[in-house]
A and B are shown apart, each in its own frame.
Chain A
């Protein structure tokens, strides 16, 4: 079942991180509005492959908006024109026949380009490794219900934990700041009793790591929250800032 949309795509092509990149024009025809954006990219790649050209590299895996792997900057917005969806959940019905679509990779110094539209986001992993956990070895745990947690806090914590680590917040921010991502993890654990013992050490270490990785500073423009596919709230950043101040006063180092 093919559709009736014809589109012009301007896609960022770059062989690897050291190579020069540029925007290249492509035409795709007979796109169905029921296709997902990535399926449209599949159609283009299929065209390129059978012509003997190199297909466009882009990251994706689950294609249901949860793994956080897809990462396209579409017409000037991370994950495209629709709010609260990932690239893989964006459908062509959000575009119009004849439209020109510009597709770029996430751009930030700590996210070097792997190829074309794929970037390396391992900086996020390193930030988590610096403190985004509760130090509890397997087998240490007590009975799960011995720790009642108010539904409100549990829900708030869950809302923060919904972050998929896609990096759209960084991509959207004019400063390439990672505050929303970091604050989501800090908040998730700060809101739970399990997170208390390491609360201030955690925020101290994670913020230090974030800075070290070269992310920009937060100037509270709110772009991250607006573009986050999971609706992670700015109030998490405020919570992190608060804890960070306390950490600064309270810690020994």
Chain B
């Protein structure tokens, strides 16, 4: 075990980034033209990084597995993006955003990174507005804000329930502009399957053209992995079907440490599972908690329709348990509270694994405001409700439609039924302050890295982080590495390292196709998902984790002897792509359990039943576990732990309370 150096600049918290920026070595424009950067991923992190680097003059190549960079999973983010603009005059500041994020992350993130994130947050909004991102506005023409969980200010910018889409399309348009100008070369429907390391530095990738199946070699002076999160290890999650860990995992196996893999976020408000056929879960944005109240019947097993249950027989359990934050407690807290109620028999719906998210109260409140705006005197209840529905429709129309589409129920008339689901992964490739992994020249940005969210991410801060990394951090930090690479000529891809890496990929594909077993890839994926969800999901135990490590290992064996992958490697073959991804998930799942077992405390999304307070809250152990667990791959089924100590110099570390 070694101690990792995060390369945090000297100086006070407020000075670190400013000083860093003004002292980081620069690359002159002529040299930039000779430096090639590979960006894997075209989500918020990848698209913004690629566009910004190309604008600076670097030669950039971008890869994504979808048919267009615009379809990266960032597109699906609904609720909003945070920024410390303090437009609402409600006491927000860079420091407060920083503080909320550290506290929300249950004191398991790095102060310097989070502070930098808060500092650049407001520039993100400026940049996006300049690109033409149509954020929601007030009648006076100014930007509108809403609140998200874990905060008491309104700092979330949004575009109805499609914020991620609008931000991504903004970044995508900047990216396409650079593509049009020839500064970026785009490789859509390409999957990165290996990194190439030469003399200890990352120098390129092997990618598969998914349309033809051809393996390609690409050189880069630096490689940026912006490949998103690994929530799909659970099979059912709110992530897109293609979201995967493959890129990060290949990098991990080639020397990049994987940090805090067990820190996963279970989002409290998702549409509940309806049956075995289900292929994915759908999020109902956290922003709904602004206007929806969460409750279950006070009587266990109450089968009445929700609207027939009178007010006094309802248990608004979040408002009861956390009066200060109420329905806006952080996600981990809200999720566990829902699980607790359902496990105790108070769940609703056919499966009894759901709670109500009810808008009636606020629809009436809005209705009254609208009525008085319209000058209606003594409007009847029906008129008020209809007016209120209009307001709610404008704010969340697309989410309500989506709910109705999936469940066949009308959420304007009935409360929504919701249940927690896997949503985000705080863990990821370990990176230093420069966003560089433990492999020189290999960077990780966005959800793919572990950096800013500790053990629990606050709502609306992933979009912020992805764009901060891409627009405002990497353009500076990459300079400190590339300025030393100006004399490195492009390496010919006939170099033996490329040949070897390509061979490895080829062998793996051939092996997968040759098994010709009896069970489909999905069979294994579902099975893995069940194991991880049950034992490494919302609550974890030592015994469960130990068993699940064995189970996952057994499943790995079964996979490699009994999976069936149809078709060939030299054609468009989605099953082959899936097989490769599930193979990597199988290895990651094991590491997640190992990490969870190793962390003998509860913090944020990591809840070990053995470590809780009397009233069931997470019990941290700051003495022993105030570190980032960074795992090094040491060969099949072998991982070595390295630690990065977390020092809190500006924030007093405390028991997290939302009461």
A interface, CB within 8 angstroms of B: 1-2, 15-16, 32, 34-36, 38-39, 42-43, 46, 48-50, 52-55, 57, 59-69, 84-85, 89, 91, 93, 114-115, 118, 120-122, 124-125, 128-145, 147-151, 154, 157-158, 161-162, 164-165, 188-189, 192, 194-195
Contact = CB atoms under 8 A, between A and B. Distances in A.
A52 B513 CA distance: 12
B574 A68 contact: no
B495 interface: no
Contacts of B174: 133, 136, 138
B127 A138 contact: yes
A129 B475 contact: no
Q: Please classify the interface of chain A as helix (H, G, I), strand (E, B), loop, or mixed, using the class held by over half of its residues.
A: loop
A49 B76 contact: no
B177 A65 contact: no
B405 A89 contact: yes
Interface string B75-111: 1100000000101000000000000000000000000
Contacts of A129: 176-177, 179-180
A93 B406 CA distance: 10
A141 B279 contact: no
Contacts of B276: 1-2
Contacts of A136: 127, 130-131, 174
Q: Which of B179, B242, B408, B572 has the most CB of A within 10 A?
A: B572
Interface stretch (B134-142, B245-253, B580-588): B134-142
A154 B574 CA distance: 40
Contacts of A154: 134-137, 141
Contacts of B274: 1, 34
Given A91-B405, A91-B408, 19 more contacts: A34-B275, A36-B406, A42-B279, A62-B76, A63-B241, A63-B282, A66-B164, A84-B401, A89-B405, A114-B572, A121-B67, A122-B67, A125-B176, A129-B176, A129-B180, A131-B180, A136-B127, A137-B52, A195-B132
A67 B76 contact: yes
Contacts of A137: 52, 55
Nearest to A42: B279
Contact of B402 (A49, A89, A125): A89
A85 B405 contact: yes
A120 B278 CA distance: 27
A143 B472 contact: no
Nearest to B160: A158
Given A1-B277, A53-B566, A144-B85, A138 B52 contact: yes
A138 B70 contact: no
Given A63-B240, A142-B126, A164-B165, A118 B572 contact: yes
B127 A134 contact: no
A183 B614 CA distance: 60
A130 B180 contact: yes
Given A52-B564, A133-B131, A138 B126 contact: no
A141 B278 contact: no
A157 B141 CA distance: 13
30 contacts: A2-B276, A16-B572, A32-B275, A34-B274, A34-B275, A34-B408, A39-B278, A52-B564, A54-B567, A61-B71, A62-B76, A64-B76, A67-B73, A68-B75, A115-B571, A125-B68, A128-B172, A134-B173, A138-B51, A138-B127, A138-B174, A141-B129, A141-B130, A142-B130, A144-B85, A144-B128, A148-B142, A151-B138, A162-B162, A164-B165
Which 6 residue pairs spanning A and B have beta carbons closest together?
A148-B141, A1-B275, A129-B180, A133-B173, A141-B130, A141-B126
Nearest to A147: B129
B566 A55 contact: yes
Contacts of A15: 571
B211 interface: yes
A165 B138 contact: no
Contacts of A93: 408
B275 A63 contact: no
Given A122-B188, A128-B176, A129-B179, A35 B566 contact: no
Interface stretch (B4-12, B421-429, B516-524, B625-633): B516-524
Interface string B383-411: 00000000000000000011001101000
B23 to A, nearest CB: 18
A140 B130 contact: yes
B132 A57 contact: no
Interface in B116-172: 123, 125-143, 159-160, 162, 164-166, 169, 172
B66 interface: yes
Nearest to B174: A133
B280 interface: yes
Nearest to B72: A67
A239 to B, nearest CB: 15
Contact of B277 (A35, A59, A125, A139): A35
B646 to A, nearest CB: 30
Contacts of B520: 46, 49-50
A120 B67 CA distance: 7
Nearest to B520: A49
Interface string B245-287: 0000000000000000000000000000011111110110000
Nearest to B188: A122
Contacts of A128: 70, 172-173, 176
Nearest to B180: A129
Given A89-B402, A122-B67, A164-B165, A63 B280 contact: yes
A165 B172 CA distance: 12
Contacts of B277: 1-2, 32, 34-35, 39, 42-43
Nearest to B274: A34
Nearest to B53: A138
B609 interface: no
Contacts of A147: 129
Given A120-B67, A128-B172, A151-B138, A144 B572 contact: no
B518 A50 contact: yes
A145 B143 contact: yes
B41 interface: no
B566 A36 contact: no
A32 B275 CA distance: 9
A73 B564 CA distance: 29
Contact of B132 (A38, A85, A194): A194
Given A54-B567, A85-B405, A132-B176, A64 B282 contact: yes
Nearest to B271: A64
B566 A67 contact: no
B575 interface: yes
A124 B68 contact: yes
B69 interface: yes
Q: Which of B76, B129, B401 has the most CB of A within 10 A?
A: B129
Nearest to B83: A144
B186 interface: yes
Contact of B75 (A2, A54, A67, A138): A67
A50 B282 CA distance: 28
Interface string B505-530: 00000000000001110100000000
A173 B554 CA distance: 52
Contacts of A125: 68-70, 176, 179, 186, 188
Contacts of A133: 131-132, 173-174, 176-177
A50 B68 contact: no
B471 interface: yes
A121 B177 CA distance: 18
Contacts of B71: 61-62, 67-69, 165
B545 to A, nearest CB: 30
Contacts of A63: 240-241, 279-280, 282
